[in-house]
Amino acid sequence: MGLLLVFAAALLAFALSTVSGGGAGLLLLPVLARVLPASVVPAALTVGTATSTASKLGLFWRHINWSISRRFVPGAVPGVLLGAYLLKYLNPLYLEVVIGLFLLSNLTMLWRKDAAVAEPAVAASGLKLGVLGFLAGFLSDLTGAVGLLFNKFYFRHGLSRDAVIATRAANELLLHFIKLALYLWLGLLTTAAWQAGASVAVGAVLATAGTKRLVRYLPEQAFRRIGYAAMVLSGAFMLSSAGAELRETQNLRASAALLGDDLEITGWWHSGSLTLELELDESPAIEQPVALADLPPDVQAAIARLRHGRPVLKIEEVWKLHTHYYELYLNDGGRVRALNVPH
């Protein structure tokens, strides 16, 4: 059942990808996360996207802009190698949140009257193309799919509809092969990853072949509009998926409460928390719970003098503009008493 879901999602995602210039990988991330462990999702996705990229390359070969590819790819290779090395140490979920927010920032492009108009070709420098290639390789290794991030660059470079599809495929195919070799070496290409990747690959090839003729009849303006819409949709999917995973695995959450004239916004991560307090008559404050044993000796001594035997309910470290102190909460005969402890 899981593989059928992956196949159906891949068929839809790659059909949309072909008519929008990319984004299938980002749309498939949350689907694959439901049927595979998070650590092997990029590997499975790469199996499928590599096959899709190869098929696009065959279908749109004559539209490749080689002046971009020969500068883009050399920078991407070291990015892939660095990304594979850091894959063991970085949690890609946090990166997905950043990428999701960036993709959502293109929402304004959907309402601009000139967003769908082809822009005049602007020759990017070799250094800029190399840096973009490095970023593409690095980010792609950690998440498995970020090609859509660079659609705006292709649009601004003046590439036509077919040239965007072809040039992206040429830039990404070598990266996919390098990533597959690295994933195999790292032991991330498990049987489940191969099976899910194969389902993605079959759906990708069928979708690309089926929508090729549609792309040829799609006006350039509509292609650009759809491309920006795909970026926004992918960003929403990525944020939703990463947010749900972070809430479940990292206890990442937030809440807001109005206490009298004060608004408190609290965020939790793992077992810790941080509170932003907004007071109407004072400057904003950042508060963090702290254990008595972790306080400096002089602060512990001050608290001992203030307690007078009363139980300590909570201690918070407080930062305000030009001010740093501790806030002590005591049980004073059944009532909560708050005292400031200078530092």
pLDDT tops 70 at residue 285: yes
Distance CA 340, CA 343 (A): 10
Query: How much of the chain, in percent, has pLDDT values that exceed 90?
Result: 0
- Residue by residue, DSSP assigns 207-240 as HHHHHHHHHHTS-HHHHHHHHHHHHHHHHHHHHH
Query: How much of the chain, in percent, has pLDDT values that exceed 70?
Result: 71
Average pLDDT over residues 32-46: 81
pLDDT of residue 110: 64
- Reading phi first (left if > 0) and then psi (alpha if -120 to 50, else beta), residue 69 is in alpha
Comparing 172 with 330, the larger pLDDT belongs to 330
Average pLDDT over residues 180-184: 82
Average pLDDT over residues 33-37: 81
Lowest mean pLDDT among 48-57, 115-124, 331-340: 115-124
Any alpha helices (H) in 145-219, and if so which ranges?
A: 151-156, 161-186, 191-216
Average pLDDT over residues 229-253: 73
Lowest mean pLDDT among 35-44, 144-153, 172-181, 228-237: 144-153
Show Cβ contacts of residue 333 under 8 Å, excluding neighbours closer than 6 positions: none
Q: Assess contact for 174 and 53: CB atoms under 8 A.
A: no
Say what the pTM is.
0.54
Comparing 71 with 245, the larger pLDDT belongs to 71
CA 301 from centre of chain: 46
12 burial class (0-12, 13-18, 19+ CB within 10 angstroms)?
middle
Average pLDDT over residues 112-137: 63
Convert the pLDDT of each residue in 261-283 to its tens digit: 566 677 766 666 666 666 655 66
- Residue 159: closest CA among 130, 119, 127: 119
pLDDT of residue 141: 64
pLDDT of residue 120: 47
pLDDT of residue 321: 77
Confidence class for position 35, pLDDT limits 50, 70, 90 = confident
Convert the pLDDT of each residue in 60-95 to its tens digit: 788 888 878 778 778 877 887 777 777 666 666 777
pLDDT tops 80 at residue 118: no
pLDDT of residue 117: 46
Average pLDDT over residues 203-222: 73
Report domain extents, the chain.
2-250, 254-342
Average pLDDT over residues 215-226: 68
Helices (H) and strands (E) in the chain, counts: 11, 7
pLDDT tops 80 at residue 304: yes
Residue with tokens 């470079």: 157
